[in-house]
Amino acid sequence: MCPEWPLVAPGPEPADADAVAVVDQERVVAASGRALAEGVRPGLRRREAEARCPGLEVRRRDEAEEVRAFEPVLEVLEGLGAPVATRAPGWAALPTRGPARYFGGERALVDKVVAALDGLGVATGRWRVGVGDGELVATEAARQGAIVARGRGAAFLAPLGIDLVGRTELVGVLRRLGIDTLGAFAALGEAEVGARFGADGALAHRLASGLGDEPSRPRPTRADLSVRTELDPPAADVEAVAFVARGLAVALAARLSEAGLVCTRLRVEVVSTTGEQIARRWSGDGGVDPAVVAERLRWQLEAWTTVRGRCGGAGQDVGEVTPWSGVESVALVPEEVEADLGRQLDLWSRPRAGEGQVARAVARVQGMLGHSSVARAVLVGGRGPGERVRLVAFGDPYPGVGATRPETARTGGPAPATCREGPDRPRRGARGSRRGAGVPRRETRTASDAPWPGRLPPPNPAVVPSAPPPVELLDPGGARVLVDARGEVSAVPAALLFEDGGERRVTRWAGPWPVDERWWEGAPRRRRRARIQVLTAEGGAYLLAVERGRWVLEGTYD
Amino acid sequence: MFDHPGRSPFARPELPEPLALLAGRSRPVSTLAGEDLLPVLPPFAELLGHPGVRRGSTVVVAGTDVPGGTSLLLALLAGPSREGAWCALVGASDLGLAAAAELGVVLSRLLLVPDPGPRPAQVAGALLDGCDLVCVRTPTALGAPDVRRLAARARERRTVLVVVTGRLPLPAARRGARSGWPDAPDVRLEVTAGRFSGPGQGDGRVTAHLVEVTAARRRGAPGELRRWLWLPGPDGGVALAGAGVPPSEAGTAADRLARAR
């Protein structure tokens, strides 16, 4: 493993003398030598870290690059002849029994691994390798560069801090109970821990006891739960493969939840058009989220394509590597599963629906209706109420979370702005009636709200048909109201006629507000429209738009 | 509870005066129930009779011929959404999402299923498992058994179910979609009167919408409660309007100006 991987992988690799920290969601995930010496620790808030170490260079985490850079490392490890599993970039595990015998002992194997990794030229000297029973013991052994003999895991872990089991809430409770070391936790009875902290607590207890996760594992899948897709024609584009993998992940999640199982080890198989099979294993003791794996597969594929492209072209001494041509099939194979024990909810208050719970519910709906059936809206620039919204399928990256929050954009209620003073429109003669409450004020510009001259000020209509239906706006004589090139109506609107024949008397109206879009692009793409608001005798309020002499109903204030 | 009234320390006549004052002021508090509420915007607290909408309950937003039902729904969602709850809307392809954001709904926590396919009840059921609040708003009315099943599931999963019934705005209204509500919901909200302010004869613009909301609760205060609400007000916010002023009489500044002309 390489604890500094987030620091090393994307980067220029920092020297020990540099103070660099990598930050993800305002928390430090890795820090360089000098930063560590100054007290910057993983898990620290960014501000706190900056306070402890003035002049700290803060880098944003680039997980995609981490996975991509880790790919060659996994390939080197696979060269040792054992199945390699990873749970995060910078961390890999392989069973030692076979290779250790082959290379002549565990010490020799460790030396071999270190030599192989240092030969890569990435993160040289930063690799930590250790041997131990189970993933927790092995991880700690690697941190200390130790080889823990079989069955000695519990004694090795006993003096270490309780926070190594990872579960923040559980650790908090145990600390308050006066249990600070893994040894003290392991000394508790397994049945009592299970009764008090549930299945997850029992698993943590087993880990702390140095037992690895054996009692729950390995349980090879009985039924074939794997999902597989053939791509015809083969896809050379990484994005296309990633899209397919995401669909597979949703299908797999549905299958697993149907069977009441979680997947603790997942194999991703990709077969290229040349018949080459690439497989990668992902593990996690709480269960692997197939959606996360599918997302990471994209980055892995990018790494594979670049490696193949480079080797194929330059003919380096990496062996007989075929050039990248395309992907023929993708499969997700759950290698180990266990029963989904779920989570015990609080007695009184249900915790807020977490992202995971929401994601599971959404996955089921997506399984019924397709990936793009569940969406979230993003406000984008635009003038009409329908143009201002873009839908993003749930599971696809949602832009701007954290950067521009709708709630912060809305609080305080900025003065309503109108487009009347925009450059698109010369002001009409000032009328006395405009001096009332409705006097347009110029919008103050904020980062999240770029100016769109001609945009409708709030409130926006609450009902916006996806395909605006045609309507007729008539003057008292029954002729269609038109808007001329100067933005004036041909007559006062008197009646609104709907598609189905319903007629409403117009009592009050406002506008028209002309918009001239893309005038610089010429005839086919240029759009000249005018919008008008009408209030009818029945109490309804509508937003109409006219283009080329035809009126449509753009929105209903409902 | 106290079988011996003579010995009870709570018998009022014996209380010294300050304590009696306190006793008169005190109200039953229910912390447990308080934890079980999804917070709503202040105007809704008055309509619902609680500072929030109870988890597991069913709310009906009934469409009428008076416009405002959709904004009412969005404003109802805004409170929980602002406080971090996940909301889902089933069947809302014609929803004005810019308006939703303006009323305070956090779009990043609003799941939309614009086209729920032939079985909207099944989709809503799945979402009830994961979200804090699920709203069903389908042009094709849900059958009574579907609604009953969803309400039961919402109660079990401690999720709020919001059902939009009755008249839907164009074009669904044309299909005559009117779904009855078989059982009494916990709360029924309805827009019974309303008035837009802003536009005159070619000038102004829609700036505010004042509506009268009628709430009928199954528990608590019986009968109907009527309140005037800005949905939204001239400042863009959702708020209770001044005590019982029918807007047609009072009017806003812009309207007065328009009339004076």
State the DSSP string of B87-148.
EEEES-TTB-HHHHHHHT--GGGEEEES--TT-HHHHHHHHHTT-SEEEE--SSPPPHHHHH
Q: Is residue A420 part of a domain?
A: no
Of the three residues A46, A61, A76, the one that is the final residue of a domain is A61
Q: How far apart are CA A85 and CA A407, in angstroms?
A: 42
pLDDT in tens, B80-103: 998 888 999 998 788 889 899 999
Nearest CA to CA, how far is A407 from chain B (Å)?
Answer: 6
> pLDDT at residue B252 above 80?
no
Query: Which residues of chain B neighbour A352 with C-beta distances below 8 Å?
Result: 84-86, 132
Both A245 and A192 in a single domain?
no
The answer to whether residues A201 and A77 belong to one domain is yes
Q: Are residues A154 and A286 in the same domain?
A: no
B32 within a domain of the structure (yes/no):
no
CA distance A218 to chain B (A): 30
My answer on whether A121 and A12 are in the same domain is: no
Using a pLDDT cut of 70, give the percent of chain B over it.
69
| Nearest CA among B196, B199, B228, B234 for reference residue B213 | B228
Residue B75 is assigned to a structural domain of this protein: yes
Of A413, A438, A498, the CB nearest to B254: A438
CATH code (residue A260): 3.30.1490.100
Say if residue B170's pLDDT is above 50.
Answer: no
Mean pLDDT of B212-233: 81
Structural domain containing residue A311 = 227-339
B96 and A375 within 8 Å at the Cβ level: the answer is no
Q: Tell me the C-alpha distance between A120 and A36, whole Å.
A: 26
Nearest to B107 among A406, A538, A556 (CB): A406
Given this model, what pLDDT does residue B27 score?
52
Q: How many CB pairs under 8 A join A and B?
A: 246
Closest Cα in chain B to A390 = B97
Residue A544 domain-assigned (yes or no): yes
Contacts of A388 in chain B (CB under 8 A): 97-98
Nearest to A340 by CA among A193, A214, A203: A203
Residues of A in contact with B124 (CB under 8 A): none
> Is A355 part of any domain?
no
| pTM for the predicted model, two decimal places | 0.52
CATH number assigned to the domain comprising residue A41: 3.40.1170.60
Find the domain containing B177 and state its range: 37-260
Q: Which of A510, A507, A541 is nearest to A433 (CA)?
A: A510
Please indicate, yes or no, if residue B214 is contained in any of the structural domains: yes
Where are any strands of DSSP class E within A143-182?
Answer: none
Closest Cα in chain A to B111: A376
| Residues A34 and A150 reside in one and the same domain | no
- Residues A243, A183, single domain; the answer is no
Token look-up 């109200």 returns: B27
**Same domain assignment for residues A130 and A266:** no
Confidence band, pLDDT 50/70/90 cuts, at residue B112: very high
Give the number of domains in chain A: 4
CA closest to B75 among chain A residues: A462
Residue A525 placed within a domain: yes
The nearest alpha carbon in chain A to B113 belongs to A374
Question: Which CATH number is B213's domain given?
Answer: 3.40.50.300
The pLDDT score that the predictor gives to residue B185 is 79
Q: B30 or B119: which carries more pLDDT confidence?
A: B119
Question: Do A153 and A37 reside in the same domain of the chain?
Answer: no
Residue of B191, B203, B207, B257 to mutate, interface with A, max A Cβ within 10 Å:
B203
Q: Are residues A42 and A93 in the same domain?
A: no
Domain shared by A87 and A194, yes or no = yes
Could you tell me if residue A431 is inside a domain? no
pLDDT at B160: 92
- Is residue B29, in this structure, part of any structural domain at all? no
Q: For residues A542 and A557, what is the distance between their CA atoms, to the nearest angstrom?
A: 6
Within this chain, do residues A290 and A244 fall inside the same structural domain, yes or no?
Answer: yes
Structural domain contains residue A451: no
Check whether residue A57 and residue A70 sit in a common domain.
Answer: no
Higher pLDDT, B242 or B230: B230
**Does pLDDT of B235 surpass 50?**
yes
Cβ neighbours of residue A304 closer than 8 Å, sequence gap 6 or more: A71, A270, A278, A324
In a domain, B20, yes or no: no
- The low-confidence residues of chain A, meaning pLDDT below 70, are 10-12, 15-17, 212-223, 284-291, 295, 305-325, 338-355, 400-450
What's the domain count of chain B?
A: 1
Do the Cβ atoms of B257 and A433 come within 8 Å?
A: yes
| % of chain A beyond a pLDDT of 90 | 5
Does residue A304 lie within any of the structural domains? yes
Residue A321 belongs to a domain? yes
Final residue of a structural domain among A339, A366, A386: A339
